[in-house]
Structure 1
Amino acid sequence: MATKFFLLAFLALWASRALASDPSQLQDFCVADRTSQVFVNGFACKDPKTVVVEDFLFSGLHMAGNMSNKQGSAVSAVNVAHIPGLNTLGISLARVDYAPYGQNPPHIHPRASEGLIHFQFNTGDKEAIAIAALSSKNPGVITIANAVFGSVPSISDDILAKAFQVDKKAVDHVQAQF
């Protein structure tokens, strides 16, 4: 009997923990008031009486970015700075345009996880487009190559040569690119 009670108590505690979540927001929306002098985590809320449709719109994602760079890609980020209605929702997104053979270099978003919806148009040598949805209003980005080879202060050539199993001359060549 004691074993059954213990098992039942354990399952009840386990189930209640599994159903835990963040509390509901106090309001349905909080449009960013970028003119406010109040400092909060994010932006202060605009008076709901002054909210307009434009606070929830952005029309720039239909335009391709400039892909004429070393990477052959362009990232167009959209966040609360572009759509004030995203304030407090914890989301942002980005359009990534790729030229033929272009790439978005390896990177991380330190304040977000990323989901990817990929649209590719393969008509001859046309570019590809990807849309990334991020779980943060300000995900940030750290490009791995910049962080490793272009860091300030720099990482020792000896450490990089050993880590990447190349000679110091190769490390110096890569660092010169940054």
Structure 2
Amino acid sequence: MKERHELPRRLWNNGRWDLISTVVASRLVPAQLRRAVLRVFCDHIGAARILGGLSINNRHLVVGDNVFINEDVMIDCNVPVVIEDGVAVGPRCSFITSGHLVGPPEMRRRSISYGEIHVGRGSWLATGVTVLPGVTIGPGCIVAAGAVVHSDCEPDGLYAGVPARRIKDLPTGPRSADQAGTYGQ
């Protein structure tokens, strides 16, 4: 009798994130329903706007308030991914919490390693940014399009490149509307 119930349990455990990700990813699903589904299955989802195409694989996702997650974002949350209040995530960004250790020549890919990702309050990740395991992006950062972030980003900096490096300090005080400009200025 026990074996009869084992298969459905295994299918649910292995397939639920595929099902959740399919529902969440659909552009036909209204944003409010998408957020409601994520709130049921993830650690915490605040008052965020999350567009279609989101792909997740586990519950270890924490999203703060006033967060915007654009289309086609992939979040590998085998360990926690924390996105604080006021963060903007551009389209096609990837958050990757797992990787492999490097082995000897006969088998370079070794055991899996994991690292949490933390994106600080008010940061902006532009289109196509990849954040690798174990990275903390400090508050108030901008990460330029296409950057690959493999090490921590100190607060209030513009980071760009592969690998991402700090190329500019950003102002830390409040800005008026007439001071607004593009991040490259």
TM-score under structure 1 length normalisation: 0.18
Q: Name the structure with the higher strand share.
A: 2
Q: Which has the higher contact order (CA 8 A, sep 6+)?
A: 1
Greater fraction helix: 1
| Higher Rg | 1
